[in-house]
């Protein structure tokens, strides 16, 4: 019988756990070197073979033995992940008992964590592993560090910022740091990196989640992240196949249509996925996108079975062009998941769906129906259906009726068990809870996060040396002069009026005199007039306009709202030294073409705000390069350098 976290037996075993941990860290170096070799191999062209690690004889034996012992119902359970938002759960509470039902009754193969907290996640990861007959895959979307899902950890910058550094080493270090911290909490499956090529400036959901617009550069950075993450012992996941970068619709709220042929897809979107496969990526996530030149079967009409779904149906009917041939989403398409991914790209790892509650699928298909279609298309794991019990019931019925054959079922379950064996879960599924706060948020990882943010800052424009002059004034102040006053105006398209507080805190802590105003999308003419009057009367030597407008799932747009446009227009008319800082969507310069100075910070997260403060004070160099083109403005690779 396994001991519970915090028990006397576990405490007595801590020295042994520590020895195991030291051994694991020593082995990490060897595994990491092999993973780096995979990245090199990934550049070897179309003929390069997959670097997915072969199983040892002991691992193969465990997989075969476990597969033989599972009933058809238990095999179905392995193909589905339950999901949770973890804060404190009482054992008799509804959330705890619901998860117990999925683990004990439905025999699910794992759990997917959304917004949660560190300690509850670590403790319950062990408890769930105790409940499960087969070791669990515990997954989370961690593209931007643990902060993307865990409230008590910091966000890291997005992929595009990592690429702006110009050095894939930072992607490797991010992958390694993310994996080590996740594993300490019991999370073994990272839904990262994004291998999407963001070639559409209006993309409302990928945007800075992509490493950029150049397929080869995306391939290099994605492979580097995979090397770091899997070298540290986690399972990485390249997403969203076959590429979500050329869309103007968010698949959380609609079904994007990408009307391109297979040749163009091969020349562009598929390049990073080929590289990821050659680098040995353990899993690939599908995209809820329609590809009418590849999959010709029409998607089902939008359904509306509730008031909420009726609103979705109405929205989709307004936004989907009559010219669009809305065909079967890629997640449900055999031509995409089997023909393209399995057969052409020869991917041998796990295929996992994107969240099945997203409108790209859920607005057209019932949970059980969608799950069955995804498996028949080639998916091995189904995540976040709107109704987990209904999805499992649909899969069980399809197996019982022969729609999903025993051989097809075994193929997926065998791949799932192989992934668990590669993670070593057959040997050790529990974590040392007492080690969590030695690893998560460790200073060495926070330093890496800040190092990436500092090096990612990209100065696209500095006419008349607006920023350079202000940094000189700061230097003169440091040498004994007077501090240069600064006016900081923030426009946010969300309701958080403290969105850029970290920037101001950093600057004020250094003694810089600051006036500040915040406006959001709800602001009216009186608020705008007061802010502009304050700026006109201010002695500030630099006006900083911060715009934390960023891509976010379900938001639907990354464009500058009308009030933000008015603010920018008013400020660019004034003959004042103006620096516009994009704390999110890098393409905002297209809406503010007359901005005299434009700095890309890539995210509104604390590491990015601290980097901007350091840049204003001149304590770090600015040397990032654009991983994208700013159409009509600057080419990919452009970026001014300030020491």
Question: For 513-528, how does the pLDDT look when each residue is reduced to its tens digit (9 = 90+)?
Answer: 999 999 988 888 899 9
From 412, 439, 466, the end of a domain falls on 439
Whether residue 92 lies inside any domain: the answer is: yes
Whole-angstrom Cα distance, residue 286 to residue 572? 43
Residue 507 has pLDDT above 80, yes or no: yes
Supply the pTM of this predicted model. 0.90
Does 431 share its domain with 469? Answer: no
Last residue of a domain, one of 439, 472, 492: 439
- C-beta separation of 146 from 182 below 8 A: yes
| DSSP bridge pairs for 578 | 543
Q: Summarize the confidence of residues 162-181 as an average pLDDT.
A: 98
- Asked whether residue 187 falls in the same domain as residue 78, the answer is yes
pLDDT above 70: residue 10? no
Section 148-160 average pLDDT = 96
Q: In terms of domains, do 396 and 462 share one?
A: no
- Are the C-beta atoms of residues 441 and 614 closer than 8 Å to each other? no
Residue 636 in domain: no
Domain range spanning residue 546? 457-617
Question: Is there a contact between 390 and 21 (Cβ–Cβ < 8 Å)?
Answer: no
**Residue 53 pLDDT:** 86
Mark whether 141 and 193 lie in a shared domain: yes
Domain-embedded: residue 385: yes
Q: Residue 20 pLDDT > 50, yes or no?
A: no
Same domain, 409 and 332: yes
pLDDT at 4: 34
CATH classification at residue 336? 3.20.20.300
Distance CA 244, CA 451 (A): 29
Residue 328 has pLDDT above 50, yes or no: yes
The reply to whether 14 and 159 lie within a common domain is: yes
Q: Does residue 350 sit within a domain?
A: yes
In a domain, 405, yes or no: yes
The average pLDDT across 332-360 equals 97
Map residue 202 onto helix, strand or coil. coil
Residues 6+ apart with CB under 8 A from 171: 159, 162, 163, 193, 211, 221, 222, 224, 225, 228
Q: Is residue 447 part of a domain?
A: no
CB-based contact 285:353 (threshold 8 Å): yes
Q: What is the pLDDT of residues 411-428, one digit of tens each?
A: 999 999 999 999 999 999
Neighbours of 50 (CB within 10 A): 17
Domain count along the chain:
2
Q: If pLDDT is split at 50, 70 and 90, which confidence band does 561 have? A: confident
195 and 76 part of one domain: yes
Same domain, 573 and 613: yes
Listing DSSP states for 411-434 in one string gives HHHHHHHHHHHHTTTTT-----GG
Q: Is 384 helix (H, G, I), strand (E, B) or coil?
A: coil
Whole-Å CA distances, 108 to 412, 453, 539: 14, 38, 63
Question: Read out DSSP for 274-322?
Answer: HHHHHTT-SEEEE---B-TTT--SBPPPP---SHHHHHHHHHHHHHS-T
Q: What is the pLDDT of residue 245?
A: 80
- Domain membership flag for residue 576: yes
Weakest mean pLDDT among 204-213, 328-337, 347-356: 204-213
Domain closes at, from 407, 439, 471 = 439
30 plus 68 within the same structural domain:
yes
Q: Is the pLDDT of residue 395 over 50?
A: yes
E strand or H helix that includes residue 81 = strand 80-84
Give me the pLDDT at residue 324, please: 64
Q: What is the CATH number of the domain that holds 596?
A: 3.40.50.1700
d(CA 586, CA 438): 36
Do 389 and 528 belong together in one domain? Answer: no
- For residues 35 and 85, state if they share a domain: yes
Q: Residues 265-311: pLDDT tens digits?
A: 999 999 999 999 999 999 999 999 999 999 999 999 997 555 555 55
DSSP-derived secondary structure for 18-57: HHHHHHHHHHHHHHHHHHHHHHHHHTS-TTPPP-PPPPPH
Picking from 261-270, 409-418, 559-568, which range would have the lowest pLDDT averaged per residue? Answer: 559-568
The verdict on residue 338 lying in a domain is: yes
C-alpha triplet 209, 211, 217: angle, nearest 5°? 165
The winner for highest mean pLDDT among 173-187, 249-263, 289-303, 560-574 is 173-187
Ramachandran class of 163: left when φ > 0, alpha when ψ lies in -120 to 50, beta otherwise: alpha
Q: Are 361 and 309 in contact (CB under 8 A)?
A: no
Out of 1-5, 477-481, 592-596, least confident range: 1-5
Contact assessment for residue 207 and residue 602, using Cβ atoms and an 8 Å cutoff: no
pLDDT band at 111 (very low <50, low <70, confident <90, very high): very high
The answer to whether 365 and 332 have CB atoms below 8 angstroms apart is yes
Q: Which of 322-331, 508-517, 577-586 has the lowest mean pLDDT?
A: 322-331
């Amino acid at each position: 019988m396994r001991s519970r976290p915090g028990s006397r037996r576990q405490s007595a075993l801590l020295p042994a756990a520590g020895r195991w941990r030291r051994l694991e860290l020593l082995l990490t170096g060897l595994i990491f070197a092999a993973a780096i070799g995979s990245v090199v191999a990934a550049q070897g062209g179309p003929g390069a073979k997959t670097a997915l690690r072969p199983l040892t004889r002991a691992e193969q034996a465990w997989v075969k033995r476990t597969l033989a012992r599972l009933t058809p119902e238990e095999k179905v359970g392995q193909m589905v992940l339950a999901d949770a938002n973890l804060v404190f759960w009482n054992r008799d509470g509804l959330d705890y008992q619901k998860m117990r039902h999925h683990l004990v009754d439905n025999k699910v193969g794992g759990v997917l964590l959304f917004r949660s907290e560190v300690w509850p996640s670590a403790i319950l990861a062990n408890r769930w592993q105790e409940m499960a007959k087969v070791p669990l895959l515990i997954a989370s979307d961690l593209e931007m560090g643990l902060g993307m899902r865990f409230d008590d950890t910091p966000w890291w910058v997005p992929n595009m910022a990592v690429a702006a550094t110009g050095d894939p080493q930072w992607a490797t270090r991010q992958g390694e740091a993310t994996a080590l911290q996740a594993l300490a909490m019991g999370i073994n499956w990272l839904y990262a990196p994004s291998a999407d090529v963001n070639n559409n400036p209006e993309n409302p959901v990928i945007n800075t989640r992509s490493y950029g617009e150049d397929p080869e550069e995306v391939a290099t950075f994605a492979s580097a992240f995979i090397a770091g993450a899997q070298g540290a012992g986690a399972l990485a996941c390249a997403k969203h196949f076959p590429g979500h970068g050329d869309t103007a619709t968010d698949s959380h709220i609609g079904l994007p249509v990408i009307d391109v042929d297979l040749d163009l897809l091969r020349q562009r979107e598929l390049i990073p996925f080929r590289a990821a496969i050659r680098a040995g990526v353990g899993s690939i996530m599908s995209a809820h996108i329609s590809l009418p030149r590849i999959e010709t079967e029409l998607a089902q009409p939008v359904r509306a079975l509730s008031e909420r779904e009726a609103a979705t149906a109405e929205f989709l009917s307004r936004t989907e062009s009559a010219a669009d041939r809305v065909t079967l989403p890629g997640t449900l398409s055999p031509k995409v998941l089997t023909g393209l991914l399995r057969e052409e790209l020869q991917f041998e790892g796990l295929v996992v769906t994107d969240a099945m509650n997203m409108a790209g699928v859920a607005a057209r298909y019932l949970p059980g129906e969608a799950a069955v279609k995804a498996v028949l298309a080639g998916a091995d794991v189904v995540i976040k259906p709107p109704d987990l019990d209904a999805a499992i019931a649909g899969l069980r019925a399809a197996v019982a009726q022969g729609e999903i054959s025993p051989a097809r079922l075994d193929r997926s379950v065998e791949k799932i068990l192989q992934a668990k064996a590669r993670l070593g879960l057959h040997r050790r599924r529990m974590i040392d809870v007492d080690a969590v706060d030695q690893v998560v948020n460790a200073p060495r990882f926070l330093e890496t996060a800040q190092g990436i943010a500092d090096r990612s800052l990209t100065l696209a424009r500095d006419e008349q040396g607006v920023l350079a002059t202000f940094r000189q004034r700061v230097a003169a102040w440091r040498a004994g002069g007077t501090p240069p006053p600064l006016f900081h105006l923030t426009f946010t398209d969300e309701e958080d009026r403290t969105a850029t507080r970290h920037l101001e805190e950093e600057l004020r802590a250094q003694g810089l005199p600051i006036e500040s105003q915040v406006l959001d999308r709800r602001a009216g003419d009186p608020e705008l007039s007061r802010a502009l009057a304050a700026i006109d009367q201010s002695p500030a030597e630099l006006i900083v306009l911060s715009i934390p407008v960023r891509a976010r799932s379900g938001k639907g747009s990354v464009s500058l709202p009308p009030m933000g446009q008015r603010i920018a227009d008013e400020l660019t008319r004034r003959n004042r030294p103006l620096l516009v800082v994009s704390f999110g969507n890098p393409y905002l310069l297209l809406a503010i073409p007359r901005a005299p100075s434009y700095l890309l910070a890539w995210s509104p997260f604390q590491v990015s705000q601290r980097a901007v403060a350091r840049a204003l004070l001149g304590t770090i160099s600015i040397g990032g390069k654009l991983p994208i083109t700013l159409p009509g403005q600057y080419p990919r690779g452009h970026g001014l350098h300030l020491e």
